Structure 1
Amino acid sequence: MTTAIQAQVLQQVAEIFDKHVPFHNLLGLDIIRYDIHGVEVAIKMKPELIGNIHQNILHGGVTATILDVVGGLTVFAGLVASRDDWQIDELQQRLTTLSTIDMRIDYLRPGRGQIFTGTGSVIRSGNRVSVCRMELHNEEGTHIAFGTGTYMVG
């Protein structure tokens, strides 16, 4: 069960990532779902995101960005879910240190599609460092890429 503080903090984090990060706005990134059970981030294909003009496929850097955003959101939700006695100020302070330590991406197929959706799951949720797995699919459910990320959470 999600506490009121957990829900409030995750809503604030979603608002920041969804509306206030200029690069996310440039890409058209949209957070569809974000709670202690997971994250779903989507991006619609547009000409500015094409990486291969001959095949009209999504740029690998956009794929990496989506997976990185999903990873950060996923591990932060894992941190929030790890305790039900968090104070808002504690979690807000943790958010200021959220950063990517390492990320590996496997590009499985060319990024063909109109809508790309990223999801993630926590592999290990630690007090300072967390690890997760991220996936990217197109609107037909084709698995485009997956990644493993290590993030600083405290």
Structure 2
Amino acid sequence: MADQHTPQQTRVAPDLPPKLAAIAHLFTDQMPFNRSLGLSIPYFTCDKVEVHFAMHEGLIGNPIQRILHGGVTASVLDVAGGLIAIANFLEKSDTMDQALLNKKLAKMGTIDMRVDYLRPGRGEHFVASAEVIRSGSRVSVCRMELHNEKGSQIAFGTGAYMMG
């Protein structure tokens, strides 16, 4: 674990379709909080997303146990859920003109989220994944999971996302 907060350079899978690449760059490069978490998105389709990050000093919630802060866990799960909800929306909105699509994207956001913390956030690297459970015309419901590099599940969540 790094002694100082040195966020990794954000990374996005190089072979993403243009719309998904634009969304991934928005979440990794243009959102200051996500940049401070050091997020990368090496896998992103309309069916599943993976968000990776490394543990660093700025993410510690318990200085004695040196474990991941619960708010970081919740935030990364929310990022994963939001990404997959948007990807699923984009897939269904392929014929929508760009102006209307931009208007709807600007109004998307989290309505509700529940996080179940299963074990302390121990690890050097973490992977949050998400998939859509149900997608309607206005709301998507997603399931998210967070694992460490050993495959131990740290937490899971369910989120509802407004789709513009």
Supply the distance in 2 between the matched residues of 1:88 and 1:128 (Cα, whole angstroms).
Answer: 18
2:74 matched to which residue of 1?
64
Cα RMSD over matched residues? Answer: 1.5
Asked if 1:39 is matched to 2:49, the reply is yes
Unaligned runs of 5+ in 1: 1-5
The structure that is helix-richer by fraction is 1
With over 3 angstroms needed to count, the CA separation of the structure-2 counterparts of 1:90 and 1:34, relative to structure 1, is farther
1:107 matched to which residue of 2?
117
Supply the distance in 1 between the matched residues of 2:27 and 2:82 (Cα, whole angstroms).
Answer: 10
Q: TM-score, normalised to structure 2's length?
A: 0.86
In the TM superposition, residue 78 of structure 1 has moved relative to its aligned partner by: 1.2
Equivalent residues in 2 for 1:1-154, closer than 5 Å: 7-154=17-164
42-51 vs 85-94, greater mean Cα deviation: 85-94
Q: TM-score, normalised to structure 1's length?
A: 0.91
* Cα displacement string for residues 70-124 of structure 1 (whole angstroms, at most 9, x for unaligned residues): 0100111111222442333333222111111000000001000011110001011
Supply the distance in 2 between the matched residues of 1:111 and 1:86 (Cα, whole angstroms).
Answer: 41
Unaligned runs of 5+ in 2: 1-15
19-28 vs 75-84, greater mean Cα deviation: 75-84
Supply the distance in 2 between the matched residues of 1:92 and 1:40 (Cα, whole angstroms).
Answer: 24
* Cα displacement string for residues 19-55 of structure 1 (whole angstroms, at most 9, x for unaligned residues): 1100111111112222212211011000111101111
User: Is contact 1:9-1:92 (8 Å) kept?
Assistant: no
User: Is contact 1:9-1:88 (8 Å) kept?
Assistant: no
- Using the aligned pairs only, state the percent identity: 52
81-90 vs 57-66, greater mean Cα deviation: 81-90
| Residue type at the aligned position of 2:159 | G
